Amino acid sequence: MTPVLEVDGLVKSFGGVTAVDRVSLRLEAGAIYGLIGPNGSGKTTLFNCITGVERADAGRVLLDGRRVDGLPPWRIARLGVGRTFQTIRIFPELTAVENLLVVTEGDWEAACARARELLATVKLERLADEYAGNLSYGQQKLVEFARMLMRDPGLVLLDEPAAGVNRTLLNDLLDAVRALRDRGRTVLLVEHDMKVVMGLCETVFVLDHGEKIAEGPPGFIQGDERVIEAYFGR
């Protein structure tokens, strides 16, 4: 089967720093993948290369077997890649529902109905007409998550979804991620909270200094010597 996402020998340097160094990944449909590594190990840069925000220096990115590296971010998004950001990036002076509506195409009424429905799934229906900038941090995170779902992306990239979110909200968010997988979507998430990673992901990739140093099920990764060394030092 063609993988949903294939990253092949990706390289990205900033000046003298190689942020991503010959990284290769294969993501199959209907699974949750984790991407972990110490700060500065290249996780977000890898996300940016996959979504077209950064242009890789070498290597290929294939989406359902089709090359997408070099395409602008909006094209890649339209091919079915949704993402959330490490620091929330919503549209603060738009209302919550408008944040979702800008993503839609076609019939306006249907789009409004769908946007409100999606906000309801993250329990924000009563705040739909509030300016997004007036919402709490956690609520903004949910708006960003719901907005990402508006295009019903086949591949979902989440950059630290659990950071700064309280327990209740976190559980809602994790349930939503599992629901995505159960509908056959593929999820790749960057996360520092190991409990979240271990409880959610089927396969984990570990980056260190831009290189992929390990790959496997969470239990296996935890015992890997290179991983322990990367996190705790020799």
- Contact residues toward another protein (CB under 8 A) are 51-53, 72-74, 77-78, 83, 85, 89-94, 98, 101-104, 108, 129, 131, 147-148, 150-151
Ramachandran angles phi, psi of 15, nearest 5°: 60, -125
CB of 198 to another protein, least distance (A): 28
- At its nearest, how many Å lie between another protein and the CB of residue 134? 8
| CB nearer another protein, residue 150 or residue 197 | 150
| Distance of closest approach, residue 140 Cβ to another protein, in angstroms | 12
Decide whether 91 or 209 has the Cβ nearer to another protein.
Answer: 91
Nearer to another protein, 84 or 203 (CB): 84
> b/e per residue, 50-78, with b = 16+ CB within 10 A?
bbbebebeebebbbeeeebbebeeeebbe
Burial class (CB in 10 A: 0-12, 13-18, 19+), 124: buried
Of 81 and 230, the one with the shorter C-beta distance to another protein is: 81
**How far, rounded to the nearest angstrom, does the alpha carbon of residue 172 sit from its chain's CA centroid?**
17
The CA distance from 70 to 152, in Å, is: 23
Compute the least distance from the CB of residue 219 to another protein, in Å: 33
User: Cα–Cα distance between 220 and 90 in angstroms, integer?
Assistant: 37
SS3 59: strand
Nearer to another protein, 101 or 213 (CB): 101
**What are the start-end ranges of the E strands in 75-231?**
81-83, 155-159, 186-190, 203-208, 211-216
Closer CB to another protein, residue 100 or residue 170? 100
Nearest C-alpha neighbor of 167 from the set 201, 202, 193, 129: 193
